[in-house]
Amino acid sequence: MPSFTFSKSLRLLTPSDFKPVFDQATFRASHQYFMFLASSNGLSAPRLGLVIAKKNIKLAVQRNRIKRLVREAFRHLQHELPPIDCVFLTRRGLDKLDNETITKQLEQQLKRLAKKAKEAAQT
């Protein structure tokens, strides 16, 4: 039975973890209110990093809510994702959506990202 935890090994924590994704993002999945950038990581599992700017999401309560939703969506789909480093970036207006809508859109974009990465790995 696969583990659905979200341990520290599944997170991008340091600037040196984020830099390769920003410099050479080979995959992207974009939405009106957020974007995922990703690149292969050469590890055995996908990893997630969050960039939630105060400029785009003013209230800390809303930023924390969005972080929880993104982590939860990633945690549920981690076994469907190939070994990639994903960075989640917010845009203005995301804090106006309800949890159900955000979760649905996150899952849809993560699946798109997984599909793009798997197709690239096959070629």
| Choice between 46 and 120, residue whose per-residue pLDDT is larger | 46
Give residue-wise pLDDT tens across range 78-94.
888 889 999 999 999 99
> What per-residue confidence (pLDDT) applies to 16?
92
Tokens matching residue 39: 């690149």
The predicted model gives 94-120 an average pLDDT of: 92
Q: Is the confidence at residue 123, as pLDDT, over 80?
A: no
Structure confidence at residue 96 as a pLDDT band (50, 70, 90): very high
Q: Is the confidence at residue 22, as pLDDT, over 90?
A: yes
> What per-residue confidence (pLDDT) applies to 120?
82
In the sheet where 84-90 sits, what is the strand order?
27-30, 34-40, 84-90, 47-51
> What per-residue confidence (pLDDT) applies to 118?
83
